[in-house]
Structure 1
Amino acid sequence: MKEGKENEWIEPLMNDLRKLEEAQQAEVPRQYELMDTLAEFKRKRKKAWKRELAIFIFTALTILATYFVVSLKMPAVFLWVQVLAIITIPIIYAAEKKRRRSLNEVLDDGF
């Protein structure tokens, strides 16, 4: 008699599980879809690499110019550069963060 009671709830449960499995069947992507996705990823990485290279070169030139100004003992120019850097760095950071959010990129704030 116990087996009859067990079957009463096992069969509906198994039917429900089959329905869930059928609903969750994912379609296998075609080769051209995978290739398009890969090509898009490569384009984005190349664009990001160029942007990062430009930022690196700009930063290196800024540091070089700062050392040049300090070596020539021009404190007024050095102070102006420092003030401009303090003003522009948060603006650049906010713009970059907004751009990454709009592209749904993963943000790495270093935390």
Structure 2
Amino acid sequence: MKEGNEKDWIDRLMHDMKKLEDAHQAEAPRQYELMHTLTQFKRQRKKAWMRELAIFIFTALIILATYFVVSLRVPVVFLWVQIIAFIAIPIIYTAEKKRRRSLSEVLDDGF
């Protein structure tokens, strides 16, 4: 009787293990799913590249304008630019950090 009980228990265990294996079979992604994911990634990278290019051009223009103001020796304008930058940079940094967190991007804080 003990052998029958043991065999029954092993059969149930094997049956349950088979159920677990069948439930966790991962399907290989189809070609159109891979292409869609790749296209979406490329679109996001292009959008990020355009945004970074715009920020770069904007920063270059600000540096050029600052150089122009300093070369004309207009200290009041230079001080206003410094004050505005001192206020705006933390705001821009926190907004960009929040945007990246919402998109689940990898953050590189430099630490």
Task: Assess same fold via TM > 0.5.
Answer: yes
Partner amino acid, structure 2, of 1:107: L
Given the superposition, is the C-alpha separation of residues 13 and 63 from structure 1 closer, same or farther in structure 2, using an over 3 Å criterion?
farther
Superposed structure 1 runs of 4+ greater than 2 Å apart:
11-25
Alignment gaps of 5+ in structure 1: 1-10
1:110 Cα deviation from its structure 2 partner: 0.9
Instruction: Please state if 1:30 is matched with 2:30.
Output: yes
Q: Which moved more, 1:59-68 or 1:22-31?
A: 22-31
CA distance in 1 between counterparts of 2:109 and 2:15 reads 47
How many positions carry a matched residue from both structures? 104
Partner amino acid, structure 1, of 2:47: K
Partner amino acid, structure 1, of 2:99: R
Corresponding residue for 2:5? none
1:23 Cα deviation from its structure 2 partner: 4.0
Scaled by the length of structure 2, the TM-score of the pair is 0.81
CA distance in 2 between counterparts of 1:43 and 1:99 reads 17
Alignment gaps of 5+ in structure 2: 1-9
Instruction: Please state if 1:65 is matched with 2:62.
Output: no
Structure 2 counterparts to residues 12-23 of structure 1, below 5 A: 21-23=21-23
Q: Secondary structure at the match of 2:60?
A: helix
1:13 Cα deviation from its structure 2 partner: 8.7
1:26 Cα deviation from its structure 2 partner: 1.2
CA distance in 1 between counterparts of 2:95 and 2:76 reads 29
CA distance in 2 between counterparts of 1:38 and 1:89 reads 34
Q: How large is the Cα RMSD of the aligned pairs? A: 2.0
